[in-house]
Structure 1
Amino acid sequence: MDSPNNLILVLIPLFYNEIYLFLKFRIVSKLNVFLIVTCLILTMSSTGLIALFLPLSLYFIFTRVRVFIYGAILSFVIFFVFYYLFISYSEFSELLNSRFNRLATGSGRFDLFHFIFVKILDSPYIGFGISQARVLLEGFQGRDLQSTHNSFLEVAIEGGLFSLLLFIICWISLFIEVCLSVIKKFKACILCFIFSLLLVSSANMMVYVEMMMFCLFIVLVMIKDSKSGQDSERIMSR
């Protein structure tokens, strides 16, 4: 992949696909799940880690506390492994220090978000037009940025507040569709998947890039398949 962020958008749908198949057929490849999670951890992407583990943590906290506790214990084990590598190997410690320094500033995102917010105020209602964000960012801190790294800011600066409102409605309607039409067995899986995509979308420009469209396509396939399964169960019950 050309960046960890794009790799994340491959790993996350693969992970939730394994979960969905387990819920549907009671089969799961533990090796696949292990490799997916391992690859995501090795990207050292804070966005990816938060996008995968935060929705799952919230789900288990409110539904299966025991699983959450096991996950927390495993996380501490991983933490101590990383700590041992950190104090034992200088190259690894330098790598982690660089990641921590970037994390403190959101890899420069905090300054970027403030800059974009100020720009939005210059044309708050109609924006500056499609694909104009990269033009406005030319020369920002001497970097060659292609996007605002936040879908909501990207929509607001290009299409204005009206477009931002429509964009938010799209996300809300997707959550509502799942809550109203998907059977309980699949509901948590799909909602966590959408929440993960929403978190990635808030830290990267994921409005119309192909990988985000691919992920949303998988979400819609899951929703459609769960509806079909619901219809089949109703027919069988008759």
Structure 2
Amino acid sequence: MTLIEAVRATIRRLHYSPHTEEAIVHWIRQFIRFHSGKHPGQMGAEEVTTFLDELAIERRTAASTQNQALCALLFLYKRVLDLQIPRLEALERARRPEHLPSVLSRQETLTLLEHLVLPFRLIGELLYGSGLGLLEARSIRVKDVDLDRWQIMVRRGKAQHTRSALLPTRVRDELHAQLDSVARRHEKELAAGRGEVDLPHALRGKMPGAATSLAWQYLFPASRPSTDPATGRQVLYHVHESAVQRAVHDVGR
């Protein structure tokens, strides 16, 4: 097993999200590449500090990015390599600049939503009207939408808790249209010999047929399939957060 394979295996054993997995793997690869391919087991706090200095001084990355890189390396040394490096634990995290967030008024929010195109308008409506976070909205699957009770099940929220959220009445038509769009696309994908979606870790072995079922498809699928790092197969993920952020940014300019 290679180092990256060991990292992925540890992450999946801990049931971290695919998004977190890719972020951790990204920074570990960046760290190794920065030190000319040297194995992390032969390095320690000094090399980590040099790498973080490079991010802060030369690349001028944000404090949140520096902290994400540090957390990834702490995970590598503690969880994967099982190396206790006190000096690494004592590294001070970058401080984020303090500022008050800009909050839109109700009318400004409604105007912004009206100018978004589908499916981003529907995502925005769920964020605003149902109190969902962006990751929660992106992770909704068809089976999580309960049209009888007019609610949605949020199964991958904070701390992996499952909860229900009421759907805003104003999204009724758009929600039905989005469900129909997902169903039509899924039929075409199946006819072309594709149609698989990524599954939670425990279900890959228990319910392999779920990968091609409509119920497990994402309500907001990505525009094209990607390779599932767990299986090496082409699967359809949910829409990427950057696509949503870009749509909102373009409207807000």
- TM-score normalised to the size of structure 1? 0.30
Answer 1 or 2: higher relative contact order, Cα 8 Å, separation at least 6. Answer: 1
Indicate the structure with greater helix content. 1
- TM-score normalised to the size of structure 2? 0.29
